[in-house]
Amino acid sequence: MSLWHVLTQHGIIQDFYGTHWLLIGLTVGVSLIGVVLWGTLSGSILPVLLKKSGADPAVSSAPFVATLVDVTGLIIYFSVAYLFLRGILL
């Protein structure tokens, strides 16, 4: 969806994202996919790990998953941006 937004906005408003509009769209799109996949994996694995460790997965799962996905989501986004935009915009 984010790549689609960048592609359509580039056609409507020229130079809205600059000359590197495709790389910015790919950066946002790939990082969005990575964050969603990581959130899904951590949200399904963390309750199992908590149950095996003896903790109640229903009580402690939501805060851990939310914090974990938020922090690692920023790391994923900045890592993808660094990989795609290194030497160009960074």
26-50, pLDDT tens digit by residue? 898 999 999 999 988 988 888 888 8
Tell whether the model's pLDDT for residue 2 goes beyond 70: no
Residue with more model confidence, 74 or 24:
74
Q: How far apart are CA 90 and CA 82, in angstroms?
A: 7
CA 34 – CA 81 distance, rounded (Å):
12
How high is the pLDDT of residue 14?
60
pTM: 0.73
What is the predicted pLDDT for the residue at 74? 95
* 35 vs 75: CA distance, rounded Å: 9
**15: alpha, beta or left, given left = phi > 0 and alpha = psi -120 to 50?**
left
The residues near 60 (Cβ < 8 Å, ≥ 6 apart) are 50
pLDDT reported for residue 7: 64
Helix (H) or strand (E) holding 72: helix 57-85
